[in-house]
Chains A and B, each alone.
Chain A
Amino acid sequence: MIAQLRTAERQLALILSGLVAFAGLVMAAVGRGDPMGAQGWIVALCAGLVVIFLLRGLDGPEPVEDRATAYYDDPTRVGILISLAWAVVAMSTGVWVASQLAWPDLRFDGAWSSFGRIRPAHTSGVIFGFGGNALIATSFHVMQRTSRARLAGQVSPWFVLFGFNLFCIVAASGYLMGITQSKEYAEPEWYADIWLVIVWVTYFTLYIRTLARRNEPHIYVANWYYMAFILVMAILHIVNNLAIPASFAGAKSYSAFSGVQDAMIQWWYGHNAVAFFLTAGFLGMLYYFLPKRAERPIYSYRLSILSFWGIVFFYIWVGSHHLHYTALPQWVQTLGMTFSIMLLIPSWASAGNALMTLNGAWHKVRDDATLRFMMVAAVFYGLSTFEGSFMAVRAVNSLSHYTDWTVGHVHSGAMGWVAMITFGSIYAVVPLLWRKESMYSWKLVEWHFWLALAGTVIYVFAMWNSGIIQGLMWRTYTDSGTLAYSFTDSLVAMHPYYVARAVGGGLFVAGAVLCAFNVLMTIRRVPDRVPEYDHPTSSEAGEPAVPAGE
């Protein structure tokens, strides 16, 4: 990692991480007596570890080869490994959260381990930790290759990657301490939000600068999706987190908006986090890795352009479908509902485009679990976008809202679509990045595929059953006009489904653990790929100057 940096770049990295460590100490000093003080120590510790790591490598030899002849893959490699670590931790937390609903004693009487604190740790850990790192890592990979240009920076990719992970760590540890601004997917408080803005603007700048160096005149569609993901997330994050801190010495802040405006802005953010974080970025993965793995160009490039702009135009309006039957004006609710239904067109265009690309390559889907991950992801993308459009209809929403159906819908998207395409992309990219012949074990990839698919199906079916039963129990009246069931009655009825859900989630985590193991063993055990042509070797390669036998 450090061996690839010149001395001046190492010094810059040292200064940056030193500044972050200093900021952490200031937070700890100013915020003592408040949970923010503890967060400051966490920041100082994380940045301090980076400083120590940099100091150890500061005096090492500089890279001798011309770095501009190769893609810069180190940040991608590290990003993939961090993403897998988050996957194992955050998905396991998810199983724990799910088990708490079936067996409440699993809280073990701790305040930090209560449902309300570890649930956001699970959601943020999976969405931002696992998904976000996978997005950053693959965006570096895809952007360089589709542009035929090296990343426009040596230090900034590391700043983006480690800065983003610092945000994730501060967020997750804050939830366990009880720090939250109570906004779905935007729980972290003001100091973490400001830090994320700095990181994200650096990310966007890096992306645009790399794009400016491109040698391909046309910007490939996957890049458009990644670009939409980065740009729109910046806008959403900044607007939704406009808040006034109660004091600069404490974590608590108050939203700049109030009442129904606050709710509308939160769900404008919340649904577009689904749209631009959990969809646009992963469609970038789909449009790059699926054609590449199938060794066939995308079925219709024109359709991919149309669905890109369709998604961008439509998605931004649908947030209000989260607020049906609330104080929000009726026409705004109807607007959200209508756009949600229209959204089906670009969504199915993408899903159909992906599946049509596989036409003529179905034998590869049968034989290659990696490609099968991507195929199943496209199918689940089609299914969950259909389900989402349907649930956004006000009449359907009156049954589904506040029930486990919503939870099932989110997980059919998150497990079936987002995680499947991510795992498929990881299996496709790991042998390439580490210059290996193949993955360590294709059988483990098969095991992972079937565990993940079984886990997703069990989870989604359990939540469909439980959600619809819940919704029906809550709207069943007796002859005298009172509710037939108490809330506790519906809770008791949920128990078997909550057990099934924990089992489904457990299978999914088991698959993720196999994936992490397989990737580590690929790096350590699989022999390096022999290049087909003569190629320049890097100073790290440790190869003899003269080939053996000469």
Chain B
Amino acid sequence: MELTHAFTSAIAKSFGLFYLIALSIGVTVYAFWPSLGKRFDKAAKSILDDEDGPCR
């Protein structure tokens, strides 16, 4: 199969559009998934006190 301009632009205009929309929806759902709230809060606070060395 030859990699022509018509072919690449058709891919960009069809698949290229929809996979980005799908990814965007996926990320938004993940970021706002209610049950993950606790984990995110914990992560946000985790950096405020982290100088006491690695845990083992």
Contact = CB atoms under 8 A, between A and B. Distances in A.
A305 B39 CA distance: 13
Given A215-B55, A313-B20, A295 B48 contact: yes
A288 B41 contact: no
A309 B27 contact: yes
Contacts, number: 80
A335 B40 contact: no
Contact of A146 (B13, B42, B47): B47
A390 B30 CA distance: 30
B53 A69 contact: yes
Contacts of A292: 47-48
A354 interface: no
B40 A302 contact: yes
B28 A306 contact: yes
B43 A301 contact: yes
A291 interface: yes
A222 B46 CA distance: 12
B2 interface: no
A185 interface: no
A337 to B, nearest CB: 15
A306 B37 CA distance: 14
Given A145-B51, A305-B30, A297 B44 contact: yes
A362 B26 CA distance: 35
B42 to A, nearest CB: 7
A68 B53 CA distance: 9
A29 B50 CA distance: 51
Given A218-B42, A292-B47, A313-B24, A305 B56 contact: no
A545 B27 CA distance: 55
Interface string A399-441: 0000000000000000000000000000000001000000000
B31 A305 contact: yes
Chain B, interface residues (CB within 8 Å), range? 20 to 34
Contacts of A68: 54, 56
A144 B44 CA distance: 16
Contacts of B1: none
Main secondary structure on chain A at its contact with chain B?
helix
Given A148-B55, A335-B12, A329 B5 contact: yes
Contacts of B12: 335
Interface in A292-321: 292, 295, 297-298, 301-303, 305-306, 309-310, 313
A252 interface: no
Contacts of A313: 20, 23-24
Given A329-B9, A335-B12, A220 B28 contact: no
A117 interface: no
B15 interface: no
A309 B43 contact: no
Contact of A148 (B28, B32, B37, B50): B50
Contacts of B32: 302
Contact of A301 (B23, B24, B40): B40
A288 B46 CA distance: 11
A144 B54 contact: yes
A158 to B, nearest CB: 19
A376 interface: no
Contacts of A254: none
Given A301-B44, A305-B31, A329-B9, 10 more contacts: A145-B47, A215-B54, A215-B55, A222-B47, A297-B45, A301-B40, A302-B31, A305-B27, A305-B40, A306-B27
26 contacts: A69-B53, A145-B47, A145-B50, A146-B47, A148-B54, A149-B54, A150-B54, A215-B54, A218-B39, A220-B46, A220-B47, A222-B47, A292-B47, A297-B41, A297-B45, A297-B47, A301-B40, A301-B44, A302-B31, A302-B37, A305-B30, A306-B27, A306-B31, A309-B27, A310-B24, A313-B20
Closest 7 CB pairs of A and B: A297-B44, A301-B40, A309-B27, A145-B50, A305-B31, A301-B44, A215-B55
